[in-house]
């Protein structure tokens, strides 16, 4: 079984690496599941960000989220990662993920 590559946009990789160890381990495992073509254990669609974008929900040492796009054949794109402190996803996090998705799609369309 071939795994899809993971492409990190912006500072998403650095942010995820700064998660507490249990949350970082869980996030890495869930991304591995996505690379292998499976669903994460706990996720929801993030249509506010864009078509095909999903949110991995991590409940370890707090609440953490990883927003990604896996519908492209060449890679799994991690758009954003953050600690969740409120019930709703902050507009700043949604806007940042939308901007990264827009830039990704613009770059891919030129290739």
Question: Band of the pLDDT at 110, cuts 50, 70, 90?
Answer: confident
For the segment 82-104, the average pLDDT, to the nearest whole number, is 94
The token duo for 93 is: 């996090």
Q: Which residues contact 44 (CB under 8 A, 6 or more apart)?
A: 54, 55, 57
Structure tokens of 111? Answer: 């290739």
Distance, in Å, from the CA atom of 64 to the CA atom of 60, rounded to the nearest integer, reads 8
Report the CATH number at residue 34.
3.30.2310.20
Residue 35 CA to residue 62 CA, distance in Å, equals 24
Inform me whether the pLDDT recorded for 111 exceeds 80.
Answer: no
- Residue 50 in this model has a pLDDT that exceeds 90: yes
Does residue 39 have a pLDDT over 70?
Answer: yes
Domain count, the chain: 1
User: Smallest Cα–Cα separation from 34: which of 62, 67, 64, 59?
Assistant: 67
List, for residues 7-25, the tens digit of each pLDDT value. 999 999 999 999 999 999 9
What is the predicted pLDDT for the residue at 1? 65
Domain hosting 27: range is: 5-110
**Which residue in 10, 24, 98, 101 sits closest to 56, CA to CA?**
24
């Amino acid at each position: 079984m071939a795994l899809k590559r993971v492409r990190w946009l912006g500072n998403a990789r650095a942010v995820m690496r700064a998660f507490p160890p249990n949350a970082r381990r869980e996030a890495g495992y869930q991304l591995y599941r996505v690379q292998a073509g499976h669903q994460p254990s706990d996720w929801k669609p993030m249509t506010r960000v864009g078509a095909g974008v999903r949110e991995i929900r991590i409940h370890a040492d707090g609440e953490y989220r990883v927003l990604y796009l896996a519908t492209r054949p060449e890679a799994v794109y991690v758009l954003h990662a953050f600690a969740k402190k409120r019930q709703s996803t902050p507009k700043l996090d949604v806007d940042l993920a939308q901007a990264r998705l827009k830039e990704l799609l613009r770059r891919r369309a030129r290739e």
